[in-house]
Amino acid sequence: MRARLPDELPMICPACRRRSERGLELSTVTLVEQYEAAGDEVIAGLLACTAEACGRRYPVIDGVPLLLPHLGDYLVREAVQVVERDLPPALVGALVEGVPDQEPLARLAEHVSIYADAHWGDAATPPPDGPGEGAGFSALADKLVERARVKVSRAVELGSSLGRGLRELSRGASLTVGVELHFGAARRARRVLAGAPLDYARRVAGRHYTPARVQVEPTPGVTVLVGDALDPPLAPGSFDRVAACNLLDSVATPAQLLAVMDGLCAPGGELLLASPYAWQSGIVDEGARLGGADPAGAVRAILERGEGLRARYAIDDEAELPWRLRRDARGAVTYRVHWLRARRR
């Protein structure tokens, strides 16, 4: 996180944000401590709410601010993500060999393997083996690159994962922000986008892994923060381009995500949305799935009619794209993703 970021882009304290009879009441956060820095980058530090009555503090770890209203609850669930460090991939493999698949460290290793290959497989050494080639995100990346030809001031991606979408969005924006709930993914995204090498363990079979590395040119003007996509710590109407790729079916209330995207979108701005609509119990609330047999039609209608939104949108581009997730050397899952670009009227 750049030390001057709170001045360039107001970040909102998620703990004291509320609605009252006066409307939406917001307080910003500011940098109060730097414990480690690299140039103008804060590697370790503290942000604090500027409201005297609140004063909530938020850590910056490995250059990534954690802006969550209930940080203690997050740490109870996700402590392994926050305290783990970059170990040689061979050690990661050795650690998880005797660990049940559902345990936090094993789940983290699997998550990083799947999404590092999906986002950066076309830049990885060695390249991913198994079904398919390159990066599973490639078709979506091409769409984002195509749109980046139209320059904007600010772009945001909700659910930015390992950061490939942020790289492509940044080509067309002066400032790009990624909001990601998974700290293990967020800190690795920041590392890759800073131009540093990322060594990760790629799953071969079961709990057996092999080393892989990704390194790309530095991507300036990008900030990655840990936050909730359904309650992002960002000011309303702050972004000309708001993206959410393969996130709509990974939140409890998809309609709320659409409303959040609409809330962040500035007048004249646009939404970039992609989803396979692969609803799963335990992730999406029962009754919150959109559109029955035609979720794409339902999403299109919500945007065009402005249902539950502040504005209505014109659909300027729509397509069906492949999205492949490599599981191991012998297995991958390929989805057909509904892509659309919607312009705020």
Decide: 110 and 184 in contact? Cβ < 8 Å. no
Residue 203: predicted pLDDT: 95
Res 23 pLDDT > 80: no
Pick from 315, 302, 320: nearest CA to 258: 302
| Better-predicted residue by pLDDT, 20 or 169 | 169
Instruction: Give CATH 3.40.50.150 domain extents, the chain.
Output: 62-344
CATH of 62-344, one of 3.30.300.30, 3.40.50.150, 1.10.1060.10, 3.30.360.10: 3.40.50.150
- Helix, strand counts (H, E) of the chain: 9, 16
3-state secondary structure at position 132: coil
At 176-207, the pLDDT tens digits run: 999 999 999 999 999 999 999 999 999 999 99
In one letter, which amino acid is 15? A
258-303 confidence digits (pLDDT tens):
999 999 999 999 999 999 999 999 999 999 999 999 999 999 999 9
Both tokens of 11, joined, read 């970040």
Confidence at residue 28, expressed as pLDDT on a 0 to 100 scale: 96
Greater confidence, 98 or 152?
152
pLDDT average, residue stretch 21-43: 92
The tokens 């007048």 sit on which residue?
A: 267
Residue 92 and residue 111: Cα distance in Å, rounded? 13
**Encoded tokens for 90:** 């061979």
Dihedral over Cα of 246, 138, 200, 196: its sign: negative
Cβ atoms within 10 Å of 129's Cβ, excluding its own: 15
pLDDT digits (tens, 9 = 90+) for 241-261: 999 999 999 999 999 999 999
pTM: 0.95
* Sequence-distant (≥ 6) Cβ neighbours of residue 205 within 8 angstroms: 328, 329, 330
